[in-house]
Chain A
Amino acid sequence: MSSVATSAAHSAPTAVIADDERLMRVQIAARLKEAWPDLVIVGEAGNGHEAVAMVRSLEPDVVFLDINMPEMDGIQAARALAGQAHVVFVTAYDQYAITAFEQGAIDYLLKPAEPERVALTCQRLRERLQQKPDPMDDVLEKLSQRLGAGGIKPREYMRWVQASVGANIRMIPTGDILFFRAEDKYTRVQTTGFEALIRKPIKELIDELDPAEFWQIHRSTVVRVDAVEQVSRNLRGNQVVHVKGSTERLEVSRTFNHLFKQM
């Protein structure tokens, strides 16, 4: 394997082009042919996964990665391929990424690729081919966080509840929900207009809901804070929550009394 790699380094340089739009791959290939006739395009990939697999099996010198690709985007692909090939990013419009590339001295091309710009990139690549590819860890890590792919993200909560309403499955935005209530095997989802059933028990549900949006007030009840109209007391002295748009009264169990303590 190593003998193949060294011989490849001495013979014609090779490249893989990854872009989800075929027309764009054709364009980059055509411009590269004009600017660098010796460069051999050994493969074309339509998404990030394909690009990673192709670079690993074909071991090209250079990989051109479109940023916006399905399954795995260009930044993620570059991170997976750290140090395995020289990376040139390709994008039509990613203002933030471009700024980052300029700061981190990472090469990139704008679509549609202008011949002069492609020529400059090829010039730089020829010089860099002598060195080992730079894994570019820091810049890519920051970028992937910023672009919302991989990296450490703030915890995500449920924004939609998938529930059956009659014979249909609906996605109900959490903002429409008044409360959840455990009922036998199911959990009832109550909105102003209708009710729906889900299988997920309250115990699991509460972990996935945003604690700033929903409060558990009872073993079997979770209420959306903004839907609470007022809290009164019933004859037994327990707190009872009144919800906007519903006549149902929701009892607060003692464990959760502190939620509605007077200021």
Chain B
Amino acid sequence: MSTEQNTANSPNPAPGSMGIRQAFREIRRGIVVMWWAFFDWVAVVQWKALVLVLFLGMIIGGGIFKLPTLTFLIVVSSFIIKIVAGGKRRAEITASEATQRAETEQLQRNVLEARMQALQAQIEPHFLFNTLASIDQLIQSDPPRASKMQQSLIRYLRSAMPQMREGARPTLGQQVDLSSAFLEIMAVRMEERLQPVVNVPEGLKSALFPSMMLQTLVENAIKHGLEPQASGGKLEIRAEVVDGQLAVHVIDTGRGFAPKADGGVGLANIRERLRTLYNGRAELIISVPAEGGTCATIRVPYEVAPAPTPT
């Protein structure tokens, strides 16, 4: 509004003509708006209501105001508009309403996902302090190893910090790197009690995979499967594509799943996130391998990340 006035003022025409021109513009805009409002109304209104209104219009316009020709024209054109544009326009309006609703839903989903993601696999203080204590010891007994462990910790923290997870959609490769760094640290601490195996084909690393889910499964396998078992065991991360779905497994030879265990918030959180992110096209399955231990599998639709744009 203000810019229009500025441009009108700049050439500095006669004040009178400017006022009239602007008034015309306003009227024209008003007519256009009214015409479209009328058009939408005619298109959407039920036939019964339209006939009733036009009949009343005929009585008022033709009978009281004595304008039979104009009234007749309006009635006929209304019917034509209704017939020609009715279906299409109504479809358009419903479509735009549906889009709006979908957008709101998507927005709600995004907010929910952000909240759930923040909850998922927050860096455990226990892990952090124990790792720092181990590094402290290695600095004295084995400095090169201390340095390696510290680098693993930095790699882990870089990808696990919540603010670092924003941006492009995460790939399986990133998630595997994060968990590998974590497993390297845990292997130094647990020594022979943890034998990590990562079996993820290079070709699958560019597949999209939600953040921190793999890490939650890995942490669970250690915390509930291997750590409580004095002899420890093996932990394997395996990925494959089956029937167009990406399946990521975390298999441990630990003490197995207790039916009464709460399963932690972690697993419930993964289920909830998969539901919001994939709407039924993804799942988390916990199964018991024949040789014991636990196998947790996340299945999501197999999608490849778009090629990275150089920054």
A interface residue numbers (CB < 8 A to B): 20-24, 26-27, 30, 46-47, 49-50, 68, 70-71, 92-94, 111-112, 156-162, 168-171, 173, 175, 208
Contact = CB atoms under 8 A, between A and B. Distances in A.
Given A23-B138, A24-B134, A156-B260, 18 more contacts: A20-B227, A21-B189, A30-B140, A70-B229, A71-B229, A93-B128, A94-B126, A111-B133, A112-B132, A112-B136, A158-B259, A158-B260, A159-B259, A159-B261, A169-B288, A170-B285, A170-B286, A171-B287
A30 B129 CA distance: 19
Interface of B: 125-126, 128-130, 132-134, 136-138, 140-141, 188-191, 193, 227-230, 257, 259-263, 267-268, 271, 285-288, 294
Contact of A26 (B128, B137, B261): B137
A112 B137 CA distance: 8
A24 B137 CA distance: 7
A23 B186 CA distance: 12
Contact of B263 (A111, A160, A162): A160
Give the secondary structure class of B's interface.
Answer: helix
B259 A171 contact: yes
A70 B287 CA distance: 23
Contact of A159 (B130, B262, B288): B262
Nearest to A193: B283
A154 B229 CA distance: 25
A4 B41 CA distance: 103
Contacts of B137: 23-24, 26-27, 112
Contact of A160 (B130, B132, B136, B257): B257
B189 A160 contact: no
Contacts of A70: 227-230
B230 A46 contact: yes
Residue of A20, A23, A70, A175 with most partner-chain B CB within 10 A: A23
Nearest to A156: B260
Contacts of B136: 27, 112
A68 B126 contact: yes
B287 A93 contact: no
Contacts of B263: 159-160, 173
A21 B190 contact: yes
A171 B193 CA distance: 25
A93 B260 contact: no
A112 B228 contact: no
B134 A23 contact: yes
Contacts of B261: 159-160
A47 B232 CA distance: 12
Contacts of B129: 92-93, 111
A47 B188 CA distance: 18
B257 A171 contact: yes
A210 B9 CA distance: 77
| Top-4 shortest CB links A-B | A112-B136, A111-B133, A92-B129, A171-B286
Nearest to B232: A70
Contacts of A112: 132-133, 136-137
Nearest to A165: B287
A170 B285 CA distance: 7
A195 to B, nearest CB: 15
A169 B287 contact: yes
A111 B191 contact: no
A206 B109 CA distance: 36
A157 B126 contact: no
B1 to A, nearest CB: 53
B140 A23 contact: no
Nearest to B290: A169
